[in-house]
Structure formats: structure tokens, C-alpha cells
């Protein structure tokens, strides 16, 4: 690894100041499970001059519940979220997503904010020594379009002939399904509006903006949530496809639905057509199957990843069935 300055920030304000001082050449580090691998392999054209450590900032690792609102600190470890009794009871999709993320050791290191802010996993982008200067590095092409695209987007690129790398987070679709808000040093952002494709970016965060917490309104009575993940190995692996749903029902019929897929598009993919297909109906196998079909009606797979369409459809069906009263 190249040399870099390491700064132990004591406050969020100090961390923001350091980001401004280094003018885009500083990177935040907490669990470090994504960033350190990128640095060791030198996958990016520019190496950070400074790492700003957030773990030394007190008060960012917590889970609070007050007046029907869950607030989770940005540095809360994934394992703590997976084990939290109240989250498992009322926000099951998030607890289960955290439990299914990576391996036990990585869950003890990785943070919730880190999981939603992580970089893409495309093997062209991640190739050592910046071997493929792709669009996400400011280059001129997406190598996956004509290359090995087994694990890339089935819903098109970021723009026509643009990046086809998928967003890899497990917790992101759960947060969107639960209608969470991302709290930063500047503002509050709806989880579904938080993600954006750019050169070296996966979120709408400004260069001097830091996630400080996540808020989730406790789902109303009569609501259930679920999360499912398909991966080659049950532990360690990133998802080939994952899905989260939060369903409200009354009188045996769905009154509200939020369904989100991930690892199928360049950012988490809210399956609005699937939601429309199930609202006002009972969650039966037939109706769930119709919603699954609706979820992938706009799929446009690449030559080598059409199999992901069936996986996405099946996960939507199974998450809905898991949310039955």
C-alpha cells in the first residue's frame, strides 16, 4: 500500500473539516472492510492522501427506540443490528439483511453506514492496478457490455451504453422497503433517494457530507417485513439477487406495499409494478406470482445474466409469501 495520513477525528465537524482540507483526496474509514481492499489492490486511478477515522467519534454506535421511531447510529455494527430484539420483532427485514451480510467476522467490523455507502463489486472495476479504466473511473466504456456480464444489471445501464455494475448492499433494499431516512451532517434523505451512479460514487452525498444515522418509523400494526438473499454461498458472498418487502394488511388484503430488489441494477431497484400488482389483494400464491412477474416486466438482461430474471421474480414471490398475516 502507498503511504497515507491517518487522522482520528473526534467529532463529526472535525471529520467534515478534514474532508474539506484534503479537497477530494481524503477518504472516510470506519469498519474498513471495503476501503482497505480497494487500497491494497490499487484499483482506482487516484490513491487517497488521507484516511479520516470515524471510529474515534463517540456517540455514533447505538440503537434507540423512542415514540415509535428507531434511530440507528452510522457506526452501529451489522452484527448488533442482526441481534437486536426490537429490530428483529418490528423491522425484521433489516435485522435479517444484516444477518445475511458477509461473514461473522465482517459483520463484527462492518457498519450500517458503510454497507449502504460501499463501492460497486464489478470485476472490471475491481481489477488490480486500475487495469480497466471504466466509466466509473472516468474512462470511456463499460467493459461488461461486451465482456463477462454474468453478475451485472438486468434492468439496463446507468445511461444508454452506460455502467452496468450492480449495487451490492444487503441492507439497502431493507431500508428502502421500511421507508427509512438517512441522516447526514447536512440533511435528511429518503433511503430510496440516497443512491446515485457517478464517477467513484454510489450515493448523492456531497464530498464533505457524512452519514450520521438512520431513522425508521416503527411499522404500524398489521405490517410485516421480510428479506431474502440468493448467493452462491450462504455466508461471505455478495448477493446475486436480494429482495426486501414491507407489507401492511387489513381484512386479509394488502393496504400498502414496498418491495425492493438489489444486485439487479446500478442502484437498489424499487419494484413499483409488483407493489401495484399486490395492493388490494390477498397474498395468495397466485397473486404473489403475478406480482413477481410484474417485478421483472421491464427486465432487459445482458447476454450472460438472463438467469437473474427468474431469481428476482422468485425472491419477490417468496418475500411476499413471507409477509402473509
Span 30-75, pLDDT tens digits: 999 999 999 999 999 999 999 999 999 999 999 999 999 999 999 9
**Full-model pTM:** 0.97
Q: What is the pLDDT of residue 194?
A: 98
Q: What are the Cα distances from residue 99, in Å, to 16, 60, 77, 156, 217?
A: 31, 20, 11, 29, 21
Give the C-alpha distances (Å, rounded to integers) separating 26 from 17, 53, 102, 117, 213.
11, 11, 26, 15, 21
Q: How far apart are the first and last CA of the chain?
A: 53
The mean pLDDT of 115-140, rounded to a whole number, is: 96
What's the rounded mean pLDDT across residues 1-28?
96
Distance CA 165, CA 87 (A): 31
Q: Please check the confidence at residue 172 and state whether its pLDDT lies above 90.
A: yes
Q: Taking 90 as the threshold, does the pLDDT of residue 233 lie above it?
A: no
Confidence (pLDDT) at 83: 98
Q: Would you state the pLDDT for residue 280?
A: 98
pLDDT, residue 161, reads: 86
Q: How confident is the model at residue 235 (pLDDT cuts 50, 70, 90)?
A: confident
pLDDT(314) > 80: yes
- Residue 224: DSSP 8-state: E
Residue 200's pLDDT band (boundaries 50, 70, 90)? Answer: confident
So what's the pLDDT on residue 271? Answer: 98
pLDDT at 175 over 90: yes
Q: Residue 121's pLDDT band (boundaries 50, 70, 90)?
A: very high
Res. 219: pLDDT tops 80 = yes
Q: How far apart are CA 64 and CA 86, in angstroms?
A: 10
Could you tell me if 45 and 6 are in contact, meaning their C-beta atoms sit under 8 angstroms apart?
no
Q: Is 160 a residue whose pLDDT tops 90?
A: no
Q: What is the pLDDT of residue 234?
A: 78
Q: What is the mean pLDDT of the chain?
A: 96
Phi, psi of 312 (to 5 degrees): -60, -45
pLDDT of 113: 98
Q: Pseudo-torsion of CA 101, 105, 109, 110, nearest 10°?
A: -10
d(CA 136, CA 123): 12
Question: What integer pLDDT is reported at residue 1 of this predicted model?
Answer: 84
pLDDT value of position 236: 81
Is pLDDT above 90 for 126? Answer: yes
Amino acid at each position: 500500500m502507498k503511504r497515507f495520513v491517518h487522522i482520528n477525528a473526534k467529532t463529526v465537524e472535525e471529520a467534515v473539516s478534514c474532508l474539506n482540507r484534503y479537497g477530494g483526496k481524503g477518504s472516510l474509514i470506519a469498519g474498513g472492510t471495503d476501503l482497505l481492499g480497494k487500497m491494497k489492490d490499487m484499483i482506482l486511478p487516484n490513491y487517497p492522501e488521507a484516511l479520516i477515522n470515524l471510529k474515534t467519534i463517540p456517540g455514533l454506535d447505538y440503537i434507540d427506540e423512542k415514540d415509535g421511531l428507531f434511530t440507528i447510529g452510522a457506526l452501529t455494527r451489522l452484527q448488533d443490528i442482526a441481534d437486536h430484539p426490537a429490530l428483529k420483532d418490528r423491522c425484521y427485514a433489516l435485522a435479517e439483511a444484516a444477518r445475511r451480510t458477509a461473514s461473522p467476522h465482517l459483520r463484527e467490523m462492518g457498519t450500517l453506514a458503510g454497507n449502504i455507502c460501499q463501492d460497486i463489486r464489478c470485476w472490471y472495476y475491481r481489477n488490480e492496478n486500475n487495469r480497466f479504466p471504466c466509466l466509473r473511473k472516468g474512462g470511456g466504456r463499460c467493459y461488461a457490455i461486451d465482456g463477462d456480464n454474468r453478475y451485472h444489471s438486468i434492468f439496463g445501464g446507468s445511461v444508454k451504453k452506460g455502467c452496468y455494475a450492480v449495487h451490492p448492499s444487503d441492507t439497502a433494499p431493507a431500508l428502502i422497503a421500511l421507508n427509512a431516512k438517512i441522516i447526514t451532517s447536512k440533511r435528511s434523505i429518503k433511503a430510496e433517494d440516497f443512491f446515485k451512479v457517478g464517477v467513484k460514487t454510489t450515493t448523492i452525498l456531497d464530498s464533505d457530507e457524512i452519514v450520521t444515522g438512520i431513522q425508521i418509523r416503527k411499522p404500524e400494526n398489521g405490517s410485516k417485513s421480510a428479506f431474502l438473499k440468493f448467493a452462491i454461498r450462504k455466508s461471505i458472498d455478495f448477493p446475486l439477487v436480494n429482495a426486501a418487502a414491507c407489507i401492511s394488511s387489513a381484512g386479509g388484503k394488502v393496504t400498502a406495499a414496498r418491495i425492493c430488489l438489489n444486485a439487479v441494477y446500478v442502484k437498489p431497484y424499487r419494484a413499483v409494478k409488483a407493489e401495484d400488482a399486490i395492493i388490494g389483494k390477498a397474498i395468495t400464491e397466485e397473486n404473489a406470482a403475478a406480482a413477481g412477474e410484474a417485478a421483472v416486466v421491464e427486465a432487459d438482461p445482458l447476454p450472460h445474466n438472463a438467469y437473474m430474471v427468474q431469481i428476482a421474480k422468485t425472491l419477490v414471490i417468496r418475500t411476499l409469501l413471507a409477509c402473509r398475516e
